[in-house]
Structure 1
Amino acid sequence: MSSATLQTTWWRYGRTATPKPIAAVPSTVFVDPDGRIAGRVIGPIDESTLRGILSDLVKEQQGSNT
């Protein structure tokens, strides 16, 4: 395993642009800079899947900024 560490953090935040309840545990929710839910994974997620999703979301965000 790489030296990267994933950490679960609980925080409170304001409203998202599209409020949707999170009904399953574990759930991973990806929120874009505008507060919209950009992606969601229900259930466990491994490091390679997480990295792939994040890479895709970053590319998508960079493409929308050009």
Structure 2
Amino acid sequence: MLDLTMSQVLTDPLIRQMLRADGVKLSEFAILLEKAASERGRRFSNQSAMSDAGSGSAEVRAS
């Protein structure tokens, strides 16, 4: 399975046709994608931090 970049999604003719059919503006869809990517990144970051803390591999800095 090939993942598309956001740029590719926003310029894909089939996706644009579906957006038109559903009455969704391209700018609104772009905002939705940005929010979803940001949330996914935040969740991934939190999971990584919890994983690092649980494995003892988190960096400890001296003050």
TM-score for the superposition, normalised by structure 2? 0.41
**Which structure has the highest strand share of the two?**
1
More helix by share: 2
TM-score with structure 1 setting the length: 0.39
